[in-house]
Chains A and B, each alone.
Chain A
Amino acid sequence: METHVTESLLTESLEHLQKSGDVATTLRRYPEKAETLQPLLETAQQLIAHYADVPHPPTNLRDGRAEVLAFAAVQRAAQIAIASKRGVTARRPTFAGRNGAARRQPNPFLRLAAVLAVLTLILIPLRGPLVAAARTTLPGNPLYILKLSSEDQLFSSMNEAEVKVVLAMSLTQERVEEVRALVEKQQEIPIDVFYRADYMLRTALMEAAWAPEPLMPNMLSYIIHDARQQSQQLEMLKMQATAKNLGALGNMQTLLLKTQIIAMVALENPETFREAYQAGTPEKMPLPSGGPLSGVVITDELKQLVTSTPDSRLLIEPVVPLIPLLTPTASPTPAP
């Protein structure tokens, strides 16, 4: 009982301390318990001072806000798509397609329903025991080619740009998982994994350029988010990687960094991005020194990495120090 009284009294005195900010003033209210309370209140005061020191968030919570809203936009689109499956499809306007021919304007929300289907297809092996076994194989295994082939088949069976963006990023994640398994087994990461990831990342950007206008910013945000997370996953693997694998990890991080930068530039200059990537000339994407890349030091080396075709000979040394320079400030506008 005595303890309970003291606890209530402590709570009351702490509340007083938080208001007054002064131990002596608070103690004067409880003279009979002052001796017991003093050390506790002094400790509390230390804690109040200690916890008051909170630095500003690095991007003022802007990046997180954009990520949360992008996540919500994709989810909302999927929800609407599922609901609209039961509705009547209205005749839609047209816009210029890849070959200049008129192309039917798709319902962007309906398209995203397929995203869920794609992910289900990736996660659930439906194509027989051999392919199912191949899904878990690593580079070097004879079944690995079957795994890549089933991925290609899946990819080519998809028509919609935004579905392909999501699938391309999922397949890049699959490469990251393979890298993780190889690093954990202390096996060498073959260059094929690197090329395959590069191909998928470039495909993701290329397909984002073909996404319907309201969805393109979300697709670019999606790419940035995934590429950043994948880069972080690779960073964590470095501690257990062999010297040779460290180089490969750095190379893959460079690819992911490059993808993030292009997507950020694209968010700022969507028209230029669309023109360059729809025309198949990604090297024409300009690299501004400010805007979404403010705070990022654009070195000649980085410019070269962003505009050149990846070549493992150029990337033997990991370009890890570039990673912390990436401080995007762009706030992508999700679809209404």
Chain B
Amino acid sequence: MRTRETVLLKRAQAYEEQAIAELYDHYAPRIYSYLYRRVHDAQVAEDLTSEVFVRVLQALQSEQFWHTSFQAWLYRIAHNQVIDYYRQQTRQQEQMHQVPLEDQPEATGIENVIADPSADIDATRDAREIAGGLEAALSRLTPDQQQVLVLRFGEQMKTQEIAAIMNKTNGAIEALQHRALATLRRMLDPGKV
């Protein structure tokens, strides 16, 4: 696979359509899933996925090549896209806070669903609360901790693969994973750890 991938990348470097299509079809679903797990918005994740591949094509030209694994490189580009996305979001929120409250658009989407008094199905509410609590706790972890958890439990990757993506040693990844899980547990259930 590695040899075939190398050939595909060489062809992609020459903007060969079939090679790019093949790489996209192979990796885009995984990158989309990863991005969705980081941004929690399907449309945004889909848009970012194509941006990742455009960046890959640009980077191939400027010879900013991967050193060990193309997959790891791809995930690193995706991770950088996530960082850029959240920076943009933060800027938008800062601008939003400068707008007087009466001029702000009405809340839509999830806020309305949560506030909806007719949403009385207990199981759905419980699931949403658990997911909401977990999501809130995850968002309080450091970016590295969030990243290691998504790669381990979302992407089902092994320590070595995560280490390649995050450019750390296996030991550092295991330590990071341990701290992330312990911190998350403390936030979710302070009595148990």
Answer whether A and B are interacting partners.
yes
With both beta carbons as reference points, the residue of chain B lying nearest to A36 in the complex is identified as B193
Given A40-B181, A55-B36, CB of A63 within 8 Å of CB of B46: yes
Which residues of chain A come closer than 8 Å to B178, judged between CB atoms? 3, 6-7, 10, 40
Cα(A21)–Cα(B159), bound, Å: 18
**Chain A: minimal CB distance from B82 (Å):** 15
Q: Given the complex of chains A and B, what is the CA–CA distance between A54 and B14 in angstroms?
A: 33
Measured between beta carbons, the chain A residues less than 8 angstroms from B96 are 239
Within 8 A of B (CB), among A49-70: 50-51, 54-59, 61, 63-65, 67-69
Q: Which of B49, B135, B150, B192 contacts A61 (CB 8 A)?
A: B49
Contacts of A29-62 to chain B: CB distance below 8 A: 39-40, 42-44, 46-48, 50-51, 54-59, 61
A8 touches B153 (CB 8 A): no
Q: Is B8 part of the contact surface with A, judged by Cβ < 8 Å? A: no
Map CB proximity to B onto A116-138 as digits: 1 under 8 Å, 0 otherwise: 00000000000000000000000
The yes or no answer to A334 lying at the interface (CB within 8 A) is yes
Answer yes or no: A87 CB below 8 A from chain B CBs: no
**What per-residue 1/0 map shows which CB atoms of B3-20 lie under 8 Å from chain A?**
000000000101111001
Interface size range of chain B in the complex: 35 or more
User: Number of contacting residues on A, CB 8 A?
Assistant: 44
**Residues A54 and B36 in contact in the complex (CB < 8 Å), given A64-B50, A239-B99:** yes
Contact B92 A239 (CB under 8 A): yes
Q: Is the CB of A73 within 8 A of B50?
A: no
A107 and B174 CA atoms in complex are apart in Å by: 57
A10-B181, A40-B181, A69-B21 given; 19 more Cβ-contact pairs under 8 Å: A6-B178, A7-B177, A10-B177, A11-B177, A46-B134, A47-B153, A50-B131, A51-B153, A51-B154, A58-B42, A61-B49, A64-B28, A64-B53, A65-B28, A68-B54, A68-B57, A71-B57, A239-B92, A336-B17
